[in-house]
Structure 1
């Protein structure tokens, strides 16, 4: 019997990294690794990195500095600790990590997680191991499957990767260089994954990909299926109560996806559709290949399909060359759309991207001031959206017990936390809740019994276009 070894994974960044961390746990389970919440007592520590956010590399090296002391202490106590750097920073800067950080034993890119057991063994015999090349074959077909106990431990919601990589080459983004070209999984492999998850208690599936709505996987009929058709197939699986997808690109919104929102009650009416800027000039400089008007027309197509649909988005403030007029166009777009939530960031250059060489930089003070104005507007819209829920009844998927004894917590269709006083046996069920009050970003209410319909209309009336 393989002796148990402790594994600690620290993930940064996007939902893909959360999913990738689960893949790494699954790939190492057969090697006798069990997860640990502490890096200090782990036999293997993996930093699962993200290259999207500001100062990504610096954060990795800072964390490696702290781990150096833990590795030294382990060696003094006669215990070997291995340290691995995984993810997009590993893909982009693998050789540099090896050069700058002698404490690192393994560097592995996001395309090669299924080779972790071999890399661990290679590092033991050769001192260090690095694998950051893009594979030629479809890596999706060789991933280990999680045990039933692992699925149940992760709860009633699960991520399922359906697509990876990006062909858009936005000038600010490193994803095409670190994750590679767009690859989509075959439909039946996704169906198998979802059936396995629902058989073990998962009720909500979130399909993820760098450009998830660019999905073009092969169906049983041999044809290329778009995301909308895939969603229809997954909705047929017993036990799938809710479906979501993230992250989308405006250029890949097609008619079958719009139709899926109209036709599938399991598909939640909440779409994350990043726009990045409201200025056509800046959008062109970003190589987004859509205009603000294009984006607004897409939003209207979604809204025509479901009156209760809501949106979140991403915004970059201070992109090279952004003027006050450009920024005002972003504020105007946000005002026109009306978001339930949004993420906004100051621009920071990523080495190797075209935008990193652009000279018309915006001052730090200018970016700070613009970001504060944008976030004030977004926060006011989110607050209005949440307040509009008071007095309505909405369906909630309950996930766990709350911090207060006797309290249960779930999420609305719009991912709002919802708290009620109820029995723990409601976990995994979708139940109507009448919302009574709002505290910060959380809703509080009472189970409604019986309630025939959800009442979403006030949301659209409050912040709609």
Structure 2
């Protein structure tokens, strides 16, 4: 009997990557043949995103491309778009099965049941008790490990609390067990992911049993030699005690991604963010005082309803002075059922685009400035797996600088998926640092 071919595609955040990998492992190699998403398959599983309207449009485009490969394919939609609006996703031509948050982890059962009953959708309300362990393994040098899901915050623009449910966390003992499992699988770097990882906590009868600070202390006690990165963490939840501890950690690398969203306190208030820019400045200064070479990334939303030219200038000048390494810039996208979708003071797409471009230029300048400061310093690079036909071997330093090493000078197989001490020599036109190994 021929095995059915199955392919997976992930949209959106690192948490989605972790969950896609976990779901893919449910398709036993005994019954299914895993193939690349750009090839012919019998089943296509698309892990969707709904953070912006563009993500939903992109999902429809992906479905059309899949149908061009195989018009008779069985297409399964999972992820935030599927959870948020399962009926709408089900109505998209080509989509055969739509599974919500809880249902996607039982995907094999649903496929076996619904293969001949097309156009079915399932998405239950996510409860505080619903949690599924997820991590990526096998196809990447690094692994994304979910430690937390959902969010209790009510940022006025964000649909994630609706599509992901309330904040809930994995047990510390399970996280430690999964880290050791991944290490034994050959993973050299693990990224702790979640929707709001700083809100990691376990409660019993409304009393906290342990917190995010307890978690990072426990992780740092493991004996395995593995690098640990944090994914995005809210500035108000990045406590000074955590920063001080991380600066001395033997496992956690000096890499922070701290969303700002706006440098205008007026806009932060309209966004329902739980801090003001002064607190953000304090956190950046604290990190820089203890870890001068730390990578600090940030998220910014431009064109939020009511954002005036003056508000934008406040953001620009605040960021210009801030000692951060790069920016992820998002153009505001109105989402249904959010508070900001009712605000009438919309910023035109033309102005949104200009503001986005201005901050992208600023981000590029900041990143190159940060990289140039690292020239002629010694770093540790985790080199990725590569093809024999490529000229360079790529990787990342502990402080998240993209690097490359020319292959013809060295036996690349020695360096693949290994941590190596290197000397940073120079930066190329694409902002990638050229390195040489230190013998």
TM-score by length of 1: 0.86
Which range moves more in the overlay, 185-194 or 401-410?
A: 401-410
3-state SS in 2 of match to 1:106: strand
3-state SS in 1 of match to 2:316: helix
Which range moves more in the overlay, 204-213 or 306-315?
A: 306-315
Which range moves more in the overlay, 132-141 or 223-232?
A: 132-141
Deviation per residue, 1:142-191 (Å, 9 max, x gap) = x5898xxxx4x324310100000011111111100000000100011111
Aligned equivalent of 1:95: 87
Q: How does 1:256-335 map to 2 (within 5 A)?
A: 256-335=241-320
Deviation at 1:111, TM superposition (A): 3.4
Aligned equivalent of 2:416: 427
Aligned equivalent of 2:113: 122
Deviation at 1:367, TM superposition (A): 1.3
Deviation per residue, 1:193-240 (Å, 9 max, x gap) = 111110111111100001111111479xx9632223222222333334
Deviation at 1:256, TM superposition (A): 4.0
**1:229 matched to 2:192:** no
In the aligned structure 2, how far is the partner of 1:126 from the partner of 1:401?
Answer: 42
**1:448 matched to 2:433:** no
Change in Cα spacing, 1:363 to 1:407, as seen in structure 2 (3 Å) is closer
Residue 152 of structure 2, aligned match among 151, 158, 167: 167
In the aligned structure 2, how far is the partner of 1:340 from the partner of 1:431?
Answer: 23
Residue 99 of structure 2 contacts residue 121 of structure 2 at CA under 8 Å; is this kept in 1? yes
Which range moves more in the overlay, 265-274 or 222-231?
A: 222-231
**1:216 matched to 2:208:** no
In the aligned structure 1, how far is the partner of 2:306 from the partner of 2:55?
Answer: 23
Aligned equivalent of 2:9: 10
3-state SS in 1 of match to 2:25: helix
Residue 227 of structure 1 contacts residue 256 of structure 1 at CA under 8 Å; is this kept in 2? no
- Count of matched residue pairs: 432
Change in Cα spacing, 1:29 to 1:224, as seen in structure 2 (3 Å) is farther
3-state SS in 1 of match to 2:26: helix
Deviation at 1:104, TM superposition (A): 1.9
Q: How does 1:16-415 map to 2 (within 5 A)?
A: 16-29=15-28, 32-38=31-37, 41-72=40-71, 74=72, 81-98=73-90, 100-124=91-115, 126-136=117-127, 138-140=129-131, 151=137, 153-217=138-202, 224-401=209-386, 407-415=392-400
Change in Cα spacing, 1:394 to 1:125, as seen in structure 2 (3 Å) is same
In the aligned structure 2, how far is the partner of 1:223 from the partner of 1:361?
Answer: 41
Q: Which runs of 5+ in 2 are unaligned?
A: none
3-state SS in 1 of match to 2:125: coil
Which range moves more in the overlay, 369-378 or 206-215?
A: 369-378
Change in Cα spacing, 1:376 to 1:38, as seen in structure 2 (3 Å) is closer
In the aligned structure 1, how far is the partner of 2:422 from the partner of 2:68?
Answer: 50
Residue 156 of structure 1 contacts residue 203 of structure 1 at CA under 8 Å; is this kept in 2? yes
In the aligned structure 2, how far is the partner of 1:28 from the partner of 1:108?
Answer: 16
Residue 402 of structure 1 contacts residue 409 of structure 1 at CA under 8 Å; is this kept in 2? no
In the aligned structure 2, how far is the partner of 1:138 from the partner of 1:216?
Answer: 13
In the aligned structure 2, how far is the partner of 1:447 from the partner of 1:202?
Answer: 21
Residue 349 of structure 1 contacts residue 355 of structure 1 at CA under 8 Å; is this kept in 2? yes
Change in Cα spacing, 1:379 to 1:54, as seen in structure 2 (3 Å) is farther
Deviation at 1:346, TM superposition (A): 1.4
Residue 186 of structure 1 contacts residue 218 of structure 1 at CA under 8 Å; is this kept in 2? no
Which range moves more in the overlay, 117-126 or 279-288?
A: 117-126
3-state SS in 2 of match to 1:348: coil
In the aligned structure 1, how far is the partner of 2:115 from the partner of 2:387?
Answer: 44
In the aligned structure 1, how far is the partner of 2:46 from the partner of 2:392?
Answer: 35
Change in Cα spacing, 1:405 to 1:55, as seen in structure 2 (3 Å) is closer
In the aligned structure 2, how far is the partner of 1:145 from the partner of 1:63?
Answer: 24
Change in Cα spacing, 1:186 to 1:56, as seen in structure 2 (3 Å) is same
Change in Cα spacing, 1:444 to 1:354, as seen in structure 2 (3 Å) is same
In the aligned structure 2, how far is the partner of 1:12 from the partner of 1:180?
Answer: 19
Residue 119 of structure 1 contacts residue 130 of structure 1 at CA under 8 Å; is this kept in 2? no
3-state SS in 1 of match to 2:296: strand
3-state SS in 2 of match to 1:27: coil
